[in-house]
């Protein structure tokens, strides 16, 4: 339970001693529980007997000659896998045993399904009043859309993300990773940590959390939504450009693209000096950001022509020397070969019993005394069923009977 660990010795995360029952699958929920696992929690992943988490079958690619889906491996480290048939009365009884001692429960079944099974917050709260119960869904637990199916691309379209993503006058574009799922998973993590904090400094009681993919994407509209509220005009697609800053975008070079971020007035003279166009500093059309935004079309045409003469390396050298924030547009092989990535531990590997050495991004959360760590490989399907049930008092005979009855 939270607070039971005495003094972390540098090898345990801030959630050491917290038990998480993970009844989620695919991406949003598993991304949340992976973060909790990275922070030191003991995450018990509940999977169906017939195949487990759907992402186990989302391949190619796989690692080496194994059947291990790269997708599944990316979001399920630091967990123990237990197979359980929740469609059976006895399977649900086992689940209630596990939930009775958990600090956190995360689930992303269809809204109402856990209640049908007698496993909703109200059903489990009485036996475990301290339980923090997080439900994750497409549209949330109330509202006219609550029963609609939800997928990341649908969320990006419905919540406005695709209306502002892509090239001007071009077709709408989906952001390249499933940000609706990942964003909702991050909101779940934040909400769970806040609820644990409230429990610890309150009366010890947990609470129900309701997070949806749709709400998360609407919340992520932030300044784009504010621009709309202020003007009444919905923003459109601008490619890599920024609606209120210029120049703040990607420019083509002779051999690639460079992103430039002239985000303040003192950056503008530096940028002009870097490209040998100091005559632009006091040009009345561009002398302040508001003018540069107002005259963006003229400025863009001028800079497109100017910067196309440089190679990417030549332009980056000039921008770095003058302190202008900039970067080449990098592919993932370039990203994960960067010394900065390695120095920060953002390229990690873990040994897997069938996939061999599995590489993955590291945790971006750093602590001075309670580090986030990668302690467990993404588990095999049902790898820890016997181990976990034994910890909860089940005997070998009990587990064999459950296995014969197709419960685990």
Facing residues of 136 across strands? 211
Phi, psi torsion values for 404, nearest 5 degrees: -65, -35
CB atoms within 10 A of CB 2: 19
Active site residues: 181
**Cis, peptide link before residue 63, omega less than 30° from 0:** no
Task: Report which DSSP code applies to 55.
Answer: G
Contact 114, 131 (CB under 8 A): no
CA-to-CA dists, residue 150 to 111, 137, 172, 299, 311, angstroms:
12, 8, 19, 41, 44
Q: Are 349 and 270 in contact (CB under 8 A)?
A: no
Task: Take residue 236 and report the two structure tokens written for it.
Answer: 């459109």
Residue 62: DSSP 8-state: B
CA distance 280 to 9: 57
Q: What are the CA-CA distances from residue 244 to residues 130, 261, 264 (Å)?
A: 47, 12, 11
10 φ/ψ sector (left φ>0, alpha ψ -120 to 50, else beta): left
Two structure tokens written together for 120? 């909703």
Tokens standing for 163?
């209306």
């Amino acid at each position: 339970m939270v607070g039971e660990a005495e003094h972390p010795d540098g090898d345990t995360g801030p959630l050491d001693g917290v038990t998480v029952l993970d009844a989620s699958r695919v991406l949003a929920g598993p991304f949340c529980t992976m973060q909790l696992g990275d922070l030191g929690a003991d995450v018990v992943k509940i999977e169906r007997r017939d195949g487990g988490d759907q992402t186990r079958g989302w391949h190619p690619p796989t690692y080496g000659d194994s059947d291990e889906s790269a997708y599944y491996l990316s979001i399920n480290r630091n967990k123990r896998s237990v197979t359980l048939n929740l469609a059976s009365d006895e399977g649900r009884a086992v689940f209630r045993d596990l939930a009775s001692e958990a600090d956190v429960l995360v689930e992303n079944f269809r809204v109402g399904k856990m209640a049908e099974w007698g496993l909703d917050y109200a059903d489990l709260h009485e036996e475990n009043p301290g339980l923090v119960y997080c439900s994750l869904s497409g549209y949330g637990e109330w509202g006219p859309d609550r029963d609609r199916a939800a997928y990341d691309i649908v969320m990006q379209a419905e919540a406005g993300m695709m209306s502002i993503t892509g090239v001007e006058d071009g077709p709408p574009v989906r952001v390249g990773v499933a940000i609706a799922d990942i964003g909702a998973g991050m909101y779940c993590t934040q909400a769970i940590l806040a609820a644990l904090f409230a429990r610890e400094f309150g009366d010890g009681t947990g609470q129900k959390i309701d997070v949806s993919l749709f709400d998360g994407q609407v919340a992520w509209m932030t300044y784009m939504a504010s621009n709309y509220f202020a003007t009444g005009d919905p923003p459109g697609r601008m490619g890599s450009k920024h609606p209120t800053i210029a120049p703040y975008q990607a420019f083509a070079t002779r051999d690639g693209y460079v992103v430039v971020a002239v985000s303040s007035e003192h950056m503008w003279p530096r940028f002009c000096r870097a490209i040998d166009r100091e005559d632009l500093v006091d040009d009345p059309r561009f002398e302040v950001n508001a003018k540069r935004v107002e005259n963006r079309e003229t400025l863009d045409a001028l800079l497109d022509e100017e910067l196309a003469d440089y190679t990417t390396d030549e332009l980056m050298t000039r921008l770095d020397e003058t302190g202008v924030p900039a970067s080449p547009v990098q592919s993932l092989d370039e990203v994960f070969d960067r010394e900065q990535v390695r120095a920060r531990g953002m390229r990690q590997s873990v040994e897997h019993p069938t996939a061999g050495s599995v590489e993955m991004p590291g945790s971006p959360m750093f602590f001075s005394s309670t580090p986030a760590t990668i302690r467990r490989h993404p588990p095999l399907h049902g790898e820890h069923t016997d181990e976990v049930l034994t910890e909860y008092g089940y005997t070998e005979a009990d587990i064999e009977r459950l296995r014969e009855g197709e419960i685990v």
